[in-house]
Amino acid sequence: MDKHLYAAMQLPSDLDLRGFSELLVASGVEHRITIQGVEQVIWVGTDIEHDQLVSLFQQWQGQNRSPGVTPNNTAGLDMLWHRLRANATRFPLTISLLLFNLVAFPLGLAASDGEYSEMFQSMMLVAFEIRGDRIYFADLEYTLSSGQYWRLISPMLIHFGWLHITFNLLWIWEIGRRIEFLHGASVFILLTLFSGLMANMGQYWLAGVSLFGGMSGVLFGFIGYCMVWDTFSSARRFGIARPIYIGMLVFLGIGFSGVFDFLGLGKLANGAHLGGVIAGVMMGSLGLLLKLDVNRN
């Protein structure tokens, strides 16, 4: 990539930008188009302002030079519906995972107010019952011996507040869809389940029985997986900026320092975070060792 070019626009990778590139050439705009994760990045020189580039893009859309491009006269809701349908086709598993979390969210929200429904109780790692103002937990061996194996995974679907679920699901969408799109459905499903399992067991081993849940362990699994591939593989990158990897690992370390507890920001499921990132690194390393075929797109 020429050093004097800068990333000016990011567009979905399902758009055929050949016509737009031709328009830029005709307009004398030096540019490059690269693929990063699930996005196409348009790089241009400093001789063109961003507003000018956007105007050229809108002009190209209006001319409808490429199949699948939405014309300018399409209403905003129609454009939104178009993108939703496109995303549902390209990232069905990621969207399904988000929907499962949203459906289960009222259970965790009610539990944060002390209302433990039967469904909520059945989704925690171990069985428990309430006597008065105290919670009594069964041990993990008893829970599994009764055949309730789904509990090893189900806590990942429970969130206890709006900030909790918003943070997790935004990042799951941002990173999960890249894994699904570039490495396929099988990898996405296995990585999600294995990260969820390792996250839940990591929290259990580190902190014992408690009421915990959320997708943060799976998120750290995604981070660990992508970090391994982006560091050691020459295959197409996931398009995740290196500072994000560093920031997530720093966040993991700070969690173990106890700073969040000290500041009154609540307890973090540090064991789940650590278990998730270990799972992601393990799966990423295994995929590299097995020379997994990921050149799908």
- The residues annotated with a catalytic role in the active site are 216, 273
Does this model's pTM top 0.85? My answer is no
Domains, the chain: 5-83 (3.30.1370), 91-289 (1.20.1540.10)
Q: Are 82 and 142 in contact (CB under 8 A)?
A: no
Cα distance between residue 116 and residue 62, in whole Å: 54
Looking at 27-139, list the stretches that DSSP marks H as alpha helix, in order from N- to C-terminal side: 50-63, 76-90, 92-111, 118-123
Distance CA 61, CA 255 (A): 47
Q: In the structure encoding, which two tokens stand for residue 164, read together?
A: 């909790």
pLDDT one-digit tens code per residue, 7-46? 888 887 777 788 888 888 888 888 888 887 788 888 888 7
From residue 208, alpha-carbon distances to 13, 21, 50, 195, 203 in Å are 44, 57, 53, 18, 7
Summarize pLDDT for 195-208 with one digit per residue, the tens. Answer: 999 999 999 999 88
